[in-house]
Structure formats: C-alpha cells, structure tokens
Copies of this chain bind each other. A is one copy, B any other.
Amino acid sequence: MTVEPIRILVNGEVSNSVATTDRGLLYGDGLFETIACVDNKPRLWEAHMQRLQAGCEHLGIGRIDTDLLREDCMGLLEGVPRGVLKVIITRGTGGRGYRSPDNVTPTRIVQLHDWPDYPELTHTEGISAIICKTRLGHNPSLAGIKHLNRLEQVMARREWNDEVIREGLMLDNTGHVIEGTMSNVFLVSKGGLLTPDLTQCGVAGIMRAHVMGLAAQENMATDVRAITVAELQQADEVFVCNSLIGIWPVRRVDDKTFEKGPLTTRLQARLARPNGDAIT
C-alpha cells in the first residue's frame, strides 16, 4: 500500500471519513482484508470474503453483504491494471462504552491503493528479517482473525528503520515463532513444510492457506504446530508470504543466513502459474 489511497468508498459512497463515534476507531471493533488486484480483478476474492464473513460472525457483527462489497470493489478497480484493495468492516457507530447498541449497522470501507513498490529482488533473491522484541500476547478468542487491534504489529514495525530489513518475525510470550509483522512464515525442514500453529495468537493469512493448498497439490503436507526459534535457525529454507508479496524467500534472520532452496522456488513457480493464484 502506498501512503495515501487513491480512491475510497464509505458505505458505497465516495468519502474519506468516518464518524469519531465509529467503534472501529473507539475500540478497534472491526476487521480488515488486504486484497491484491491484477487486471481489474481481486485475487482470491472468495477466500478473503469467507475469512471476513467468519470474522464478522465471530465478533458478533453478523453476516455482511459481500455482493455490496464486490460492487464497491469492482467499481473502484475499473481501469486499474494493478492495485491493492483494503476492505474494512467495523461494527458501526455508537453504544454505551464497550457495549454495542442492539441495532447497529456495520460501517463498510473500501480503499484502493497503488501497488506497493517492493523491489523485484525481494521476490527473486529474498529478504533479510529480524526477530522483533515485541511479543504477541496469547488470546485464543481473537487468534487467527484479521481484526483491527494491531498495536502489537505497529510496535513491532517500529523496531527497525533499515530499508534492508523487509520483515520482522514475531514470537509469542512463550518464545515460539508465530508470524511476520505483515506476513505468515513457513519453514522447510527435512523435506517438509512447517508453519506455526495460530490458535493462541497471530493472523491466519489468506496466502498462508493458499500456499498450504498449493503445497498439497504438489504432494507436500504442511505440519502446523508450535515452532521454536532454534527450529527456525536450523531450517533448510524459510519463506514469508502474504496476499501482496506472494512468497518471499528469507535469506537472513538476524545473524543466521539461509539459502533460497528448491521447495521455496517450486512454490513460487506454482503460485505464479495462471491458475496457481486462483484469480477469480
């Protein structure tokens, strides 16, 4: 995403503002999706909508009209060869303190951003990462969901300014590796894929699920479990992924270096195939 979105709709109308009484602002009471768009089309649309819907139901926001959201998005994307859609749903406006009103209409925000200007080398050669000091707190009741309470990620992202560092890996309170500030992380170890369990904290990324699906198609199972920093350091390959970057090989984490390995390359190639990224 670039610093400023280029077009914005709020509840279907051209606007760049929400009420100061919106619960998204007051409490982070809402959810978001970041969707890659190519050739006027949002990628992995159904998966994004399913996660958003599941999140809304989990938070008690209720079912949202994804047809309306699609209309908003397709309208913004007209004539845009490549861009990023950020979709935000909040519980809506008002309420007495934390208690939400009985009948509240969710706020629907869609922002179109320019495609991010990550250098091609991040994809082909890979990136350097650090392990952040900011930890992810355990909260099973909110884990996995892409909600608007993101101070942990904001604080973690403040830990470095060096442009050479492209991502910060975050641990939980027990010292296990959970994810990157903006990505999910995978290891290749003993020929198999490993990715952290996200039942206690972390965001269950759309690209994470998609990569696991692609891996399965290549007859690679993914072991989802708690992962220690030592296991990360001993991995044969490491990569991070999200909807915008696809797959980035991780070549360095703090002082430990990694090769760009064959499984990462294979999954990158699989993702780049016409049907590999499941453009809908």
Spell out A's residues near B (CB within 8 Å): 1-5, 8, 10, 15-29, 32, 59-60, 88, 90-91, 94-101, 109, 111, 116, 134-142, 147-158, 173, 181-182, 201
Most chain B CB within a 10 A radius of its CB, from A20, A91, A96, A109: A20
Query: In the complex, A24→B116 CA distance in Å?
Result: 22
Query: In the complex, A194→B15 CA distance in Å?
Result: 50
Is B97 a contact of A28 with CB atoms below 8 Å?
Answer: no
Is A154 a contact of B98 with CB atoms below 8 Å?
Answer: yes
Is A25 a contact of B141 with CB atoms below 8 Å?
Answer: no
Interface majority SS (helix, strand, loop, mixed), chain A? loop
Known contacts A94-B4, A96-B1, A101-B3, A158 near B60 by CB under 8 Å:
yes
Is A2 a contact of B96 with CB atoms below 8 Å?
Answer: yes
Is A25 a contact of B27 with CB atoms below 8 Å?
Answer: no
Is A18 a contact of B17 with CB atoms below 8 Å?
Answer: yes
* Chain B residues positioned under 8 Å from A59 (CB to CB): 151, 154-155
Query: In the complex, A4→B21 CA distance in Å?
Result: 8
Query: In the complex, A147→B154 CA distance in Å?
Result: 12
Query: In the complex, A17→B111 CA distance in Å?
Result: 17
A14 to chain B, nearest CB (A): 11
Query: In the complex, A91→B25 CA distance in Å?
Result: 12
Q: Which residue of B lies closest to A113 (CB)?
A: B96
- What 4 pairs between A and B have smallest CB-CB spacing? A28-B28, A137-B139, A137-B137, A17-B17
When the two chains form the complex, which single residue of B135, B136, B182 contacts A98, counting CB atoms closer than 8 Å? B182
